[in-house]
Structure 1
Amino acid sequence: MKPLVYLLTIAALILGAQSGHCLSPEALDAMLKSGDPPTVVDVRPSFHYSKSHIPGAINIPASVCQEKNLPPLGQVVIYGDGIVIEWEDECLDSLNAREGITAERLDGGFSRWAALGYAATGPSGLSEESFQYVTYNMLSRAVETNPDVLLVDLRKESARKEGGEALADLQALFPKARVVKTGRKSSGLVDNSNARDLLVLIDNGDGKAQEYARHLRAAGMHRFIILAGGEPTLQSKGRPVKKTITREIPQ
Structure 2
Amino acid sequence: MPVILVSGAANGLGAAFVDAYRQQPDTTVLAIDRASIQSKHDNVHCWTVDVTDESSITAFITSVNQPHIDLVVHSAGIRGLVPHLEDEKHGDVDACETLEAMDFATLTRTFQINAAGTFLLLRALLPLLRQATHPKVIIMSSRMGSLGNNFAGNRSAGSAYAYRASKAALNAIMRSFVVDVPEVNFVMCHPGRVETKLVKWKEEDAISAADSVDGLLPLIKRWGKGDSGQFYDRFGETIQW
TM-score scaled by structure 1?
0.30
TM-score scaled by structure 2?
0.31
Larger radius of gyration: 1
Higher relative contact order (CA 8 A, sep 6+): 2
